[in-house]
Amino acid sequence: MQSLIQRRHSPRYQVDIKSKLQLPDGELELRSADICYKGIRLQCPKEDILRVIPLGAQFTPNEHLSIPMKIDLGSNELFEVNGKVAFCHRQSQTQFLLGLNFENMGTLKKNVLKEFLSSLAGVAAQPSMFT
């Protein structure tokens, strides 16, 4: 069995950035736990989780929830991308961890993200058994 480090395709970086989810009932600003080339993990307060994940939502292979996002990568423009909900885990009584995989990124967006990730001076986050 491969270790978590060996299974990762791209390093995950711990970084605190703003992400604005574009939801049917308005915008929701969340903070990131970490980011990688494939997606982002966001910290979501308990009182907002039902705005993002409908009660009783089931994630099956042929169904997914895609959410438009605007992520502040520190440039003049917000990084706009769709995020496919990969998981939602309770971290505490008041906090959830929401994992979103980036979807349908063209070459330009991939290059912007790659440039941002290469600029991070932080240490890659430790792998988690939940992702």
- Residue 112: how many other CB atoms lie within 10 Å: 17
3-state helix, strand, coil in the chain (%, to 5): 20, 40, 40
Which pLDDT score is estimated for 129?
45
The model's confidence at residue 130, banded by pLDDT at 50, 70 and 90, is very low
* Average pLDDT of the chain to the nearest whole number: 85
pLDDT at position 6 over 50: no
| Full set of structural domains in the chain with CATH | 4-119 (2.40.10.220)
Q: What token pair was written down for 43?
A: 């910290």
Query: pLDDT of 50-69, one tens digit each?
Result: 999 877 666 566 667 899 99
What are 75-104's pLDDT values in tens digits?
888 999 999 999 889 999 999 999 999 999
pTM attached to this predicted model: 0.83
